[in-house]
């Protein structure tokens, strides 16, 4: 009997050893920097994995392989899924990819958690210098955690064909002018002239951020005190505008379940005439006859404001190297190859990604390669950061709460006042607890 018990004990002990071995194997990357001097490292024959929220032109990875001998496997999934994957894998200190998406909104949390390698001393100094302005969104505590690859910001798009048919000329410069324009478009036969995604997603809250800034406000003060709960505030008026747009029939009732993808699809299908919060890359797609039925009538416009064009904000996206990456030197080579002017031009032309390198943007604007270049350049002068003091580490929780509450307000499940008061209380709690 004792021997039988001993047998059970040894079986369980064996199982425990295997569990420990299995679990111990999870941390494949370690926490060290792991970069070798450029002249002492060979990356040829290595294979890296890249995790992105959007497709890149099919031939590009092969081009990198041809130049460096490094094979690349690109995994593409939705933005929200990318974030979830990064949070889960990095919390478990497990390998997720060698190069990953790094959105501006990740900066506070991911830097505090120590999940990414600072890149300012790893990448070519000339490249770091050229990216400095755009990379400010990825700076925390004296370190830069990503190299910006998509100079995303919000601007407005409109269908010039529909404007002409409605007897309208220029795009409105203020919100006071916007109302009559929308009414005129509606009379001319555009059932829902305005496209605003309002689903309970990140894409559904971005227009509220934009409208808040365009109406002359900010979300928080310098101490992260919320500024949107007061009925006179820009944040309050911005949400009120969204609710009224639904009530007035300017926006499709279905917008309350739309993310930015379907909202853009409606614009490209000619179902709406104005997109207030579009990405610069949307312009090229909307004017591509293969992907849009309104080509070539899509035109860019400055986001309306209170007395003239309003403020907008940047949502730069970067490439970063997790501390758990297996081939950090190859990952660095991949980022540097991506940032070469020729690669950036292909990415803009075929994937609508506006480059972040100052020298490349200037060169493309000068040569006329940037579609709607003058307006895009003009809008860039109105771009300010959503969080001038840097994205807080609790941004994910704030955004997730905002998604639910703003969606409830536009659906009429809550009043604008109640939704924003609740959001302000949550933001105050997060800022105070520092979690």
Q: How many residues bind another protein (CB under 8 A)?
A: 51
Site for another protein (CB under 8 A): which residue of 45, 57, 254, 341? 254
Residues 213 and 89: their CA atoms lie apart, in Å, by 34
**Dihedral angle sign, alpha carbons of residues 191, 404, 227, 376:** negative
What is the chain's Cα-based Rg?
A: 24
- Residue 150 engages another protein in binding (rule: CB under 8 A): no
- How far does CA 15 lie from the centroid of its chain? 44
Strand pairing category for 71-76 and 47-52: parallel
- Residue 404 engages another protein in binding (rule: CB under 8 A): yes
Site for another protein (CB under 8 A): which residue of 131, 159, 394, 420? 394
Residues 223 and 391: their CA atoms lie apart, in Å, by 12
- Residue 415 engages another protein in binding (rule: CB under 8 A): no
**Quick one: DSSP state of residue 311?**
P
- Residue 23 engages another protein in binding (rule: CB under 8 A): yes
Closest approach, Cβ 83 to another protein, in A, equals 7
Site for another protein (CB under 8 A): which residue of 49, 233, 271, 285? 271
Site for another protein (CB under 8 A): which residue of 188, 257, 340, 363? 257
* Beta carbon nearer to another protein, 181 or 405: 405
Site for another protein (CB under 8 A): which residue of 71, 345, 349, 411? 411
E strand or H helix that includes residue 319 = strand 317-320
Binding characters for another protein, 33-72, by CB under 8 A (x = yes): ----------------------------------------
Residues 190 and 170: their CA atoms lie apart, in Å, by 17
Tokens at residue 269, please?
């299908």
Q: Which residues contact 59 (CB under 8 A, 6 or more apart)?
A: none
- Residue 400 engages another protein in binding (rule: CB under 8 A): yes
* Beta carbon nearer to another protein, 21 or 126: 21
What 3-state class would DSSP assign to 99? Answer: strand
What 3-state class would DSSP assign to 222? Answer: coil
The residues of the shown chain that bind another protein, judged by CB under 8 A, are: 3-4, 7-8, 10-12, 14-16, 18-19, 22-23, 80, 83-84, 87-88, 90-91, 109, 112-114, 199-201, 204, 252-254, 256-257, 259, 266, 271, 393-394, 396-397, 400, 403-405, 407-408, 411-413, 435
């Amino acid at each position: 009997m004792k021997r039988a018990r001993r047998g059970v004990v040894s079986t369980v002990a064996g199982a425990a050893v295997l569990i420990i071995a299995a679990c111990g194997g999870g941390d494949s990357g370690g926490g060290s920097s792991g970069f070798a001097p450029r002249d002492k490292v060979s990356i040829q024959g290595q294979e890296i994995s890249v995790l992105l929220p959007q497709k890149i032109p099919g031939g590009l990875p092969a081009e990198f392989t041809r130049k460096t001998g490094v094979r690349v496997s690109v995994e593409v999934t939705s933005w929200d899924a990318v974030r979830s994957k990064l949070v889960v894998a990095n919390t478990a200190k497990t390998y997720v990819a060698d190069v990953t998406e790094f959105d501006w909104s990740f900066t506070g949390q991911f830097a505090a958690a120590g999940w990414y390698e600072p890149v300012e001393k790893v990448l070519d100094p000339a490249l770091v210098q050229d990216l400095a302005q755009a990379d400010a969104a990825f700076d925390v505590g004296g370190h830069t955690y990503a190299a910006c690859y998509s100079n995303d910001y919000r601007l407005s798009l409109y269908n010039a064909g529909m404007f002409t048919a409605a007897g309208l000329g220029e795009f409105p410069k203020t919100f006071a002018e916007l109302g009559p324009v929308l009414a005129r478009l509606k009379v001319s036969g555009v059932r829902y002239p305005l496209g605003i995604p309002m689903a309970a997603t990140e894409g559904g809250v971005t227009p509220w951020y934009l409208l808040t800034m365009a109406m002359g406000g900010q979300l928080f003060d310098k101490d992260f005190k919320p500024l949107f709960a007061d009925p006179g505030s820009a944040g309050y008026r911005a949400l009120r505008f969204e609710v009224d747009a639904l009530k007035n029939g300017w926006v499709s009732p279905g917008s309350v379940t739309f993310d930015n993808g379907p909202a853009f699809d409606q614009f490209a299908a000619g179902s709406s005439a104005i997109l207030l919060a579009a990405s610069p890359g949307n312009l090229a797609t909307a004017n591509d006859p293969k992907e849009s039925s309104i080509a070539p009538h899509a035109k860019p416009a400055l986001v309306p404001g209170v007395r003239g064009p309003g403020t907008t904000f940047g949502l730069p996206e970067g490439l970063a190297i997790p501390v758990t990456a297996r081939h950090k030197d190859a990952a660095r080579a991949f980022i540097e190859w991506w940032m070469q002017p020729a690669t950036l031009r292909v990415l803009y032309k075929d994937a609508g990604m506006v480059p972040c390198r100052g020298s490349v943007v200037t060169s493309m604007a000068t040569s006329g390669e940037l579609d709607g270049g003058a307006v895009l350049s003009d809008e860039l002068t109105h771009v300010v950061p959503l969080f001038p003091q840097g994205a807080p580490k609790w941004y994910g929780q704030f955004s997730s709460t905002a998604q639910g509450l703003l969606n409830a307000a536009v659906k009429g499940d809550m009043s604008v006042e109640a939704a924003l008061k609740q959001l302000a209380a949550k933001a105050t709690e997060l800022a105070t607890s520092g979690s």
